Structure 1
Amino acid sequence: MNQHSELFHSINQTSRHYSKLLNEKLVPLGLYAAQWSIIFLLKRDGALSQKEISLYLGVEAPTMTRTLIRMEKSGWINRATGNDKREKMIQLTAASDNEYPKWINAVREAEEATLENVNEEEINGFLNTMKKLKNNLE
Structure 2
Amino acid sequence: MAKKDKSEKKKKSAKLKDAEREARLEISGDLGTAITQASRSLRTVQTRLLTRSGLYSGQEGVVLLLAAEEGLTPGLLAQRLGVKAPTMTRTIGRMEAQGFVERRGSDADGRQTKVYLTETGRATVDRISSANKALERQATQGLSGKEIKVLMKLLAVVEDNLHAQMPAELPEPIDESEDLAAE
When normalised by structure 1's length, the TM-score is 0.80
- Cα distance, 1:68 vs structure 2: 0.6
Contact 2:64–2:125 (CA under 8 A) maintained in structure 1: no
Match of 2:154 in 1: 129
Look up the match of 1:25: 49
Matched, 1:50 2:74: yes
| Structure ID, larger Rg | 2
What is the CA deviation profile of residues 1-60 of structure 1, one whole-angstrom value per residue up to 9, with x for unaligned ones? Answer: xxxx82222222111111111111111321112101211222234442211221122211
Q: CA RMSD in A?
A: 2.2
Q: Percent identity?
A: 28
Following the alignment from structure 2 to structure 1, what is the Cα–Cα distance between the partners of residues 80 and 64? 12
* Residue 100 of structure 2 corresponds to residue 76 of structure 1: yes
Q: How far off its partner does 1:73 sit?
A: 1.3
Check the 8 A contact 1:75/1:93 in 2, yes or no.
yes
Matched with 1:114 is 139
Change (3 A) 1:26 1:88: same
Q: Which residue, out of 94, 97, 108, partners 2:119?
A: 94
2: CA distance, partners of 1:129 / 1:45:
29
The alpha-carbon distance between structure 1 residues 131 and 79, as it changes in their structure 2 partners (threshold 3 A), is: farther
Q: Provide the C-alpha distance between the structure 2 equivalents of 1:22 and 1:110, rounded to a whole number of angstroms.
A: 6
Partner Cα distance (2:102, 2:91) in 1? 13
Structure with greater contact order relative to length (CA < 8 Å, sep ≥ 6): 1
* Corresponding residue of 2:84: 60
Give the number of aligned pairs.
134
**Unmatched tracts of structure 1, length 5 or more:** none
Q: State the partner residue of 1:13.
A: 37
Instruction: Say whether the 8 Å CA contact 2:99–2:120 is kept in structure 1.
Output: yes
Relative to structure 1, is the Cα distance of residues 40 and 11 closer, same or farther in structure 2, using a 3 angstrom cutoff?
farther
